[in-house]
Every structure is written in structure tokens, then in C-alpha cells.
């Protein structure tokens, strides 16, 4: 086994640095579409630094679970990111796990975040944990079906292998089954990153928040880690979508030019995807909690249809 250390470091840095930018971009565009000026796209960096410098208040009811949660969330998101091909088809840690491990790692982060929400004995946190676990539970089968579709087509659950299989001249622009799987994954993306039809990232209104409710008791550097972790998770899922379904422009050889081009393509794909997310967020209202399963059942059905349409022939 050979470990490509420079690639590993580069991807870690990319994940760390690009994630806040993506969040900032989405926030900025959303504001623009609503005729507001909106925060600068760099704002999340300043936020993170500010949070890091702040003092912390920790609930007196909280136990060590509350204290380790930020680290778990951050580290799991980052490790999941190292399994996703970003600039080249070869993810640095693809040998250590593929799609299933990625889902598992994100679930581990969520598991601890939900426990962290319950720990300070606040009803808000409990509510957030309950809803987060419920919604992620019903989003998971849809996501798995979509992943299965591409995984079976590629004969591998390894993300690098999946990308390699559809990369190059064989790649057909949005195969019908891929289109269906993409639609399913997109809905799951909205749910997993707490976007508007499912959760509202901008609100702190008790009855509607899900993700934010769990973070209510966090402050200072712990909040910074969790927020950063959440934006890394968003970046990971979006680059997963971008590179699995649109594997163009990935660096083929290890030259600086190829890497530069790969980076450029990645940014372009992420920007497009962010645009789609922003459009959905501004044109839709948040769904009532018990309407969300309807949406996710659509995602599940799309995933099933994706499987059916590829493999029934």
C-alpha cells in the first residue's frame, strides 16, 4: 500500500479551506436573489475565527459527551472528505473506505451531534436530535439506492473506482438512470445539509429548526468546529454529487497544469450545484416536518426507478 502524502495533505487543505467559501457563496447568492446585499462570501472564515477566539460557556448539566462531540463531528466530516475524489479520480484515502464508509462516517458524526444535543438537558436540543435522527433515517435508504445504482454499474463501492468507471470516453452525458439517481441524491443532499424544504439554516425559530436546535448550547471554539464540520460535510456531499455524476475534467496525470484544470472544473461544478441549491431554497417554502417524508419518499422512488431503468434490460 502506498500512501500519497502530498495528495493527502493537499486534499485536507482543500476541504478545510474551500468548505466555508462554499457556504459563504450560497448565503451570498441567496441574499442576492432576495434583493438583499447579503454577507460577503468570505464571511464564514471571519465567523470561524471569531468563534475560535471567543470564550465558552458550557452547560453545567453537560458531560464529557458534550465536549468530545465537536471533535468527532469535525474529524468524521474531514475523514469522509478524504474518501471522495475531488481533483483527481484517485481519492487519497479511497483504500480505507468507499461510499459505505462515507455514509457510516457521516452517520457517526450525526450520532454524536444528536447526543450532544441531548446532553445539556435542554428541550430544544432534544427536539433537534429527535428530528435530525428521524429525517436522516428516512433519507438514508434513498441515498443508498442512488449509491447502489452507480455502484452496481461500476461494480464497486469504492468512490474512485466508480468515478473511473464512468470517466473518460465511456461517459454518456447524464445517462437516464444516472439522471434519476442524481435527482434522488439531490433531494437527499438538501435534507442532509439542512436546506430549505427540509430545514432552514437561517432561522433560530424554535419550532422550525432542526440542525441549529442541537447546537444551541455550543459556543466559542466548539461552535466553530461544529459549524466548520457542517460546511465540510456539505462540501463533501456536493463534490460527491459533482464528481460521480459529472466526472469531467478530473486530472488524468500528475502535472501541475492537470491539477489546476481539475481544480477549475471542480470549482465550476460546485458553483453550478450551489446555484441549483440556491434556486431551490429561494423558490420553495420550508415544508412542515411531517411533509418531509413525502419529499424523501419521492427520492426513494427515484432511486428505485434509477435501478429499474438501468437493470431491467
Partner 1 sequence: MENLPATLLNLSLTGYVLGAVAGVLFLRAEKLANIFTFGCASMASLCGVVSSVMVLVTGAAAANQSVQLLPSLIPYIHFTIRVDPLSAFFLLIVSLLGFALSTYSLGYAKGFFGRKNVGVLGAFFNALLLATVLTFVADNIWLFLIAWELMALTAYCLVTFDHEEAETRKAGVLYFIMAHIDAGCVILGFLLLFQASGDYSFASLHDIGAQMSSGKRDAAFLLFLIGFGIKAGIVPLHIWLPVAHPVAPSNVSALMSGVIIKTGIYGLIRVLFDFLGTPPLWWGVTMLTVGTISAVLGVLYALMEHDLKRLLAYHSIENIGIIVMGLGAALMFLHTGHTVLAALALIAGLYHTINHASFKGLLFLGAGAVLHATHTRNMEEMGGLIKRMPQTAFFFLIGAVAISALPPLNGFVSEWLTYQALLQGFGTTDSLMRLIFPLSGAMLALTGALAAACFVKAFGITFLAQPRSKQAEQAHEVSGSMRFGMGVLAAACVALGLFPTQFVQLLDPLTQQLTGQQISAQLSLANGLVLASLTEKSGTVSTLGISLMFVCLLPIPFALWLVFARKSKTRRGPTWDCGQRGLTPQMEYTATGFSKPIRMIFKALFRPRRDVQREYEFSPYFATTIRFESHVEEVFERRIYQPLQILILRVSRQIRALQAGSIHAYLLYIFVTLLSLLLLFAR
Partner 2 sequence: MNPPTSESAAHLITLLASIMLVLQLLLVVQRMLVANIRVFATQSLLLAAIAAVVGYAYHAPHVYVVAVLTLAGKVIFLPWWLERLVRQIKIEQEIDAFVNVPAAMLICGAQTVLAYIVARPITSLERLGNNTLAVAIALMLIGFFLMINRRKAITQVLALLTMENGVMLAAIALTTYGMPLVVEIGIFFDVVVAVMVLGILVFRIRETFASMDVSKLNELKW
Using CB under 8 A as the binding rule, the residues of this chain from 70 to 99 that contact partner 2 are: none
Q: Could you tell me which residues come within 8 angstroms of residue 52 by beta carbon, excluding any fewer than 6 positions away?
A: 220, 221, 224
Burial profile 205-217: b = 16 or more Cβ within 10 angstroms, e = fewer = eeeebbbbbbbbb
**Using rule CB under 8 A, residue 155 touches partner 1:** yes
Residues 280-309 that bind partner 2 (CB under 8 A): 293-295, 297-298, 300-302, 304-305, 308-309
Residues 229-258 that bind partner 1 (CB under 8 A): none
The CA–CA distances, whole Å, from 157 to 27, 161, 163 equal 33, 8, 10
Q: How far is the CB of 158 from partner 1 (least distance, A)?
A: 5
What is the C-alpha to C-alpha distance for residues 199 and 206, in angstroms, rounded to an integer? 12
Neighbours of 32 (CB within 10 A): 13
**Using rule CB under 8 A, residue 69 touches partner 1:** no
Residues 163-192 that bind partner 1 (CB under 8 A): none
Residues 115-174 that bind partner 2 (CB under 8 A): 172-174
The angle formed by the CA atoms of residues 4, 261 and 251, to the nearest 5 degrees, is: 40
Cβ contact 219:67 at 8 Å: no
Q: Which of 33, 118, 179, 258 binds partner 2 (CB under 8 A)?
A: 179
Residues 101-120 that bind partner 1 (CB under 8 A): 101, 103-105, 107-108, 110-111, 114-115, 118-120
Partner interacting with residue 71 (select from partner 1, partner 2, none; CB below 5-8 Å by kind): partner 1
Q: How far is the CB of 282 from partner 1 (least distance, A)?
A: 27
Cβ contact 219:47 at 8 Å: no
| Bridge partners for 251 per DSSP | 88
Within a 13 Å sphere around the CA of 266, how many CA atoms are in the beta-carbon half?
27
Partner interacting with residue 288 (select from partner 1, partner 2, none; CB below 5-8 Å by kind): none
What is the C-alpha to C-alpha distance for residues 136 and 144, in angstroms, rounded to an integer? 12
**Using rule CB under 8 A, residue 176 touches partner 2:** yes
Q: Which of 180, 213, 214, 226 binds partner 2 (CB under 8 A)?
A: 180
Q: How far is the CB of 57 from partner 1 (least distance, A)?
A: 4
Angle of the 99-118 helix axis to the 64-81 helix axis, nearest 10: 160
Nearer to partner 2, 3 or 312 (CB): 312
Nearer to partner 2, 21 or 298 (CB): 298
Question: Any idea what DSSP says for residue 167?
Answer: S
Partner interacting with residue 144 (select from partner 1, partner 2, none; CB below 5-8 Å by kind): partner 1
What is the C-alpha to C-alpha distance for residues 19 and 31, in angstroms, rounded to an integer? 19
Nearer to partner 1, 28 or 160 (CB): 160
Amino acid at each position: 500500500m502506498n500512501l500519497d502524502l502530498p495528495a493527502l495533505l493537499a486534499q485536507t487543505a482543500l476541504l478545510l479551506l474551500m468548505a466555508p467559501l462554499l457556504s459563504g457563496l450560497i448565503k451570498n447568492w441567496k441574499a442576492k436573489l432576495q434583493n438583499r446585499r447579503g454577507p460577503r462570501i468570505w464571511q464564514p472564515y471571519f465567523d470561524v475565527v471569531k468563534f475560535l477566539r471567543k470564550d465558552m460557556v458550557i452547560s453545567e448539566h453537560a458531560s464529557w459527551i458534550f465536549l468530545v462531540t465537536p471533535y468527532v463531528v469535525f474529524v468524521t466530516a474531514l475523514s469522509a472528505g478524504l474518501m471522495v475524489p475531488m481533483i483527481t479520480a484517485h481519492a487519497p484515502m479511497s483504500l480505507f473506505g468507499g461510499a459505505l464508509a462515507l455514509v457510516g462516517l457521516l452517520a457517526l458524526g450525526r450520532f454524536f451531534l444528536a447526543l450532544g444535543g441531548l446532553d445539556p438537558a435542554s428541550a430544544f436540543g432534544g427536539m433537534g436530535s429527535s428530528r435530525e435522527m428521524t429525517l436522516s433515517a428516512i433519507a438514508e435508504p434513498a441515498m443508498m439506492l442512488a449509491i447502489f445504482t452507480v455502484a452496481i454499474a461500476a461494480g464497486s463501492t469504492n468512490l474512485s473506482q466508480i468515478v473511473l468507471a464512468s470517466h473518460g470516453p465511456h461517459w454518456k452525458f447524464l445517462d437516464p438512470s444516472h439522471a434519476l439517481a442524481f435527482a434522488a441524491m439531490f433531494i437527499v443532499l438538501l435534507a442532509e445539509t439542512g436546506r430549505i424544504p427540509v430545514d432552514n439554516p437561517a432561522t433560530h425559530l424554535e419550532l422550525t429548526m432542526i440542525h441549529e436546535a442541537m447546537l444551541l448550547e455550543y459556543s466559542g471554539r466548539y461552535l466553530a468546529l461544529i459549524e466548520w464540520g457542517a460546511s465540510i460535510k456539505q462540501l463533501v456531499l456536493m463534490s460527491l454529487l459533482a464528481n460521480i455524476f459529472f466526472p469531467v475534467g478530473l486530472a488524468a496525470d500528475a502535472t501541475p497544469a492537470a491539477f489546476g484544470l481539475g481544480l477549475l472544473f471542480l470549482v465550476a461544478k460546485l458553483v453550478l450545484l450551489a446555484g441549483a441549491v440556491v434556486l431551490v431554497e429561494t423558490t420553495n417554502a420550508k415544508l412542515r416536518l411531517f411533509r418531509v417524508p413525502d419529499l424523501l419518499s419521492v427520492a426513494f422512488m427515484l432511486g428505485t426507478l434509477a435501478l429499474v431503468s438501468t437493470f431491467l434490460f
